[in-house]
Structure 1
Amino acid sequence: MDEFRGNYKYNMLDQHVREFNRLVPVYYQWDDHEVTNNWYPGEMLLGDDRYTEKSASLLAARANRAFREMLPITEHASEPGRVYRKVSYGPSLDIFFLDMRTYRGTNDANNSPSPTDNTDFLGRAQMEWLKRGLLNSKATWKVIAADMPIGMIVYDDWKNKSTFENLANGDGAPAGRELEIVELLRFIKNAKINNTVWLTADVHYTAAHYYDPNKAHFQDFEPFWEFVSGPLHAGTFGPNDMDNTFGPQVKFTKHPTEDQGINLPPSYGLQFFGLVDIDADTEQFRVSLRDVADEELYTVTLDPVYS
């Protein structure tokens, strides 16, 4: 009976998700919690008694299969299970969905002064795919939908602040995983690719960041915006420390106050999402950060730049 009841619940959930997807167009990407917190390929969960299976890579393979069965995406011919892809919305918009999880190196001190296998975040194949896609895009706006923000510091070891989950590693010259972003931002500038906007998640609050080379340690890039929004149904906490390597300016942020504490439940109402609208006539790109009550918290309208 327990097995039947579990299968019944799963089937009902599956039915509801598929019905939702039929009515509302949704595009998905993944991060870490489809597998386990802060995982990376090759990680062994030897010190965590919650897991009988210790290989994060094996858990990731199972999670990838479940992800695609529940939320189907078009399979890639040469790499079954690939999550990163491009979706086009007519002449105004191309969306590049990234995978910052599957091809990364180990979560370590993240301070190598030169590229190594361990400084990978997107990985070489995905990086070259993204550069080609941005270069060949005819859309006015190129949205980079990324798992994680660029300039927020996200520690893997929060207690000792010794290893990093994100690419940001503290103020100063680019190092570690930041070297991939240096390559990408320099490429976008040199190729004169206009109107790139980053939409990201992972952290448990909402924010708008403007990356200004005049405020940055590394300055060989054109300014751009990054909008962060999360979660939809999880504990809320923040804010994260910012890394000045790429000059992020915090234009807006909403998170629990010190008096409220951290990891607040959804009942507090600090759940967030973003709404993007591109005007059909002017092609202005309007971003609105909102809370669960659909209250507009912050809005900015970006004007397109034409070559």
Structure 2
Amino acid sequence: MSRDPGNTIGRRTVLRGSAVASAALALPAAATAAPALALGGRPQARWGTQAGDITTTSGLVWVRSDRRARMLVETSATDSFRRARRWYGPLVGPGTDYTGRTALHGLPPGEQIHYRITLADPDDPRRTGKPVYGTFRTAPASRRRDVRFLWSGDLAGQGWGINPDRGGFRIFSEMRDLDPDFFLCSGDSIYADGPIEPTVTLPDGRIWRNVTTEEKSKVAETLAEYRGNFRYNLLDHNLRDFNAQVPSIIQWDDHEVRNNWYPGQILDDSRYTEKNVDVLAARARRAWSEYYPMSTPRTDGSGRAYRVVRHGPLLDVFVLDMRTYRNANSPGRQTKDPVGIMGREQLAWLKRELARSRATWKVIAADMPLGLVVTDGATNFEAVAQGDPGAPLGRELQIAELLRYIKHRRITGTVWLTTDVHYTSAQRYSPAKAAFKDFEPFWEFVSGPLHAGGFPAVKLDGTFGPEQMFIKAPDRANVSPAEGGQYYGEVEIDGGSAELTVRLREEGGATLFTKTLQPGRVGQ
């Protein structure tokens, strides 16, 4: 379908700004060094720019400086920046690891917005660095406008880091060429528990080379080490180019902290000197919030990560946090489970917001799958399903409550998107095949990893009646990106018919599976 013809110009602007950042990052050691106050010269935005929290009339833009600086933003309808509006952003410094965000308001709906960010010396505003450029489309105000976005997750996992021989995270270049309205990152945007070694020997004897940094040489424990994990990914020029052109919706899962974590956990892991996961999670959350352009609601005082992002009249995205409020991983056989995987407050919020939504489609962005059996050790379970195909038990009770609510409130247009398992699949859930039957049929689509190890498929749990309509997964664990198995999904909502089409894609451009859903129809 046709896209905004003005975006070609915007992309040239984005790449021009990216070239400046690429030159600055030619030496990874220099790029990852801690900013200092006595660097000399002018402030530089070496890590590119990002945009997020895009609505019909607003957005949020992000930058990181190499020293204390004032963030200045200009926006325009064209990349010539004629008649530009100026926005005065924050003074960035060590308190936020020199990152800053500026909110943009009063933007025209459904239009391409060009922006450039300049960093100024706070003691001498005439001393400014080279600007970095970005662009994004605001959400449409009309139901007649198409909406298209991508989703995936799992970046730089299992020891597979930035490989210059392979061109780095090249899947982001491929996704950028599709020019989506936004990208949904469904968790594991870093692997804080996954050190990156300089070389890895592949099964066929080839050598995989990684760019390495000090912070990626061990598991992250300190705030500085968590921050360094986010900076590591931004060394990749493909990711920086993508961020400058495609705004993101970010959620988190376990590897932003450490594998399979839950609140209150005390680690039995010799790699960690800090054993209290709650301490690690607080540091990780702070770094995570600093390195992305998002403003999370704070009405409950927690700076919560779950939220709804409204992208025009056709789409609401419900971004879940299935990590922060969960109970401990267990065999999952309890007949009462008021905490579950979301916690009571988040479940009540999700029910309330789904009922209030007037969007045609309600995408539930879950960082963990529903009917796929994800284990944690020999007897415990990490996700919702626990391998018993009978009546709901454990965390399944909370999902059953939600599905029952959706049915009885006659909420239509719910679609579940997730990642986590490091392969791609599509499941249709049907009460006719389920042990629990009080719900309407729905689909769950799985994608990822973006750039991490591929893993074999896990079993399905029959409680909610999943039927696997498509799957592609490797036959062994930790298959490297050099051997394939890297996936992302595409969702397109037609502005004329309001049909929603999901395409499961793999790196290289192939479309593996396509499913089109009709608006307002149940049982499809």
Q: Tell me the TM-score normalized by structure 2.
A: 0.54
Cα deviation for residue 230 of structure 1 reads: 1.1
1:192 Cα deviation from its structure 2 partner = 0.2
Q: CA deviation digits over 1:49-82, x for unaligned, max 9?
A: 0011101111111111111100131132333431
Contact 1:236 1:265 in 2 (8 A): yes
Q: Distance in 2 between matches of 1:90 and 1:235?
A: 35
Match of 1:15 in 2: 48
Residue 297 of structure 1: which of 486, 490, 512 is its match?
512
- Equivalent in 265, 272, 279 of residue 58 of structure 1: 279
Indicate the residue corresponding to 1:163 in structure 2.
380
Relative to structure 1, the CA distance from residue 13 to residue 31 in structure 2 (aligned partners, 3 Å threshold; closer, same or farther) is farther
SS in 1 for 2:381: coil
Deviations 1:149-190 (A, max 9, x none): 100000011xx2x10101101111100000000100000000
Residue aligning to 2:139? none
CA distance in 1, matches of 2:515, 2:375: 30
Residues 219-267 of structure 1 deviation map (CA, whole Å, 9 limit, x = unaligned): 000000000001101100120011000000000001113xxx2210011
Q: Report if the CA contact (8 A) 2:266-2:275 is conserved.
A: yes
Aligned position for 1:68: 289
* 2: CA distance, partners of 1:142 / 1:293: 29
Count residues in correspondence.
296
Larger radius of gyration: 2
Q: Given the superposition, is the C-alpha separation of residues 270 and 13 from structure 1 closer, same or farther in structure 2, using an over 3 Å criterion? A: farther
More strand by share: 2
Higher helix residue share: 1
Q: Is the 8 A contact 1:273 1:290 kept in 2?
A: yes
Residue deviations 1:117-142 (CA, integer Å, cap 9, x gap): 4xx21111111111011001000000
Q: 1:14-43 CA deviation, whole Å, 9 max, x = no partner?
A: 436656434211110000000000000000
After superposition, where does 1:87-102 map in structure 2 within 5 Å?
87-102=309-324
Paired residue type of 2:330: D
Amino acid of the residue matched to residue 83 of structure 1? A
Cα separation, partners in 2 of 1:5 and 1:224, compared to 1, 3 Å: closer
What is the letter of the counterpart of residue 147 of structure 1? D
- Identity within the alignment, %: 50
Question: SS at the partner of 1:227?
Answer: strand
Alignment of 1:136-147 (within 5 A): 136-147=356-367
Counterpart selection for 2:369 from 149, 170, 173: 149
Q: Distance in 2 between matches of 1:204 and 1:134?
A: 28
Amino acid at match of 2:272: Y
Output aligned runs, 1:101-180, within 5 Å: 101-117=323-339, 120-157=340-377, 160=378, 162-170=379-387, 171-180=389-398
Give the TM-score normalised by the residue count of structure 1: 0.92
RMSD: 2.0
Pick closer, same or farther for the CA change 1:220–1:99 going to 2, 3 Å. Answer: same
1:280 to 495, 499, 504: 495
| Cα offsets for 1:80-103 (capped at 9, x unmatched) | 431111111111110000000000
Letter in 2 for 1:168: A
**Is the Cα–Cα contact under 8 Å of residues 418 and 446 in structure 2 kept in the other structure?**
yes
Task: Using the TM superposition, give the Cα deviation of residue 215 of structure 1 relative to its aligned residue in structure 2, in angstroms.
Answer: 0.2
Name the counterpart of 1:242.
460
Task: Give the equivalent residue in structure 2 for 1:32.
Answer: 254
Q: Contact between 2:250 and 2:292, CA under 8 Å: does it hold in 1?
A: yes
* Paired amino acid for 2:394: G
Residues 338 and 398 in structure 2, CA contact (< 8 A), matched pair in contact too: no
Contact 2:31 2:46 in 1 (8 A): no
Cα distance between partner residues in 2 of 1:179 and 1:214: 19
What residue ranges of structure 1 are gaps of 5+ in the alignment? none
Matching residue's letter, 1:256: P
2:424 corresponds to 1:202: no
Residue 240 to residue 51, structure 1, CA distance change in 2 (3 Å):
same
Letter in 2 for 1:74: S
Give structure 2 stretches of 5+ with no counterpart: 1-27, 36-43, 51-62, 64-133, 135-239
Q: Is the 8 A contact 1:229 1:272 kept in 2?
A: yes
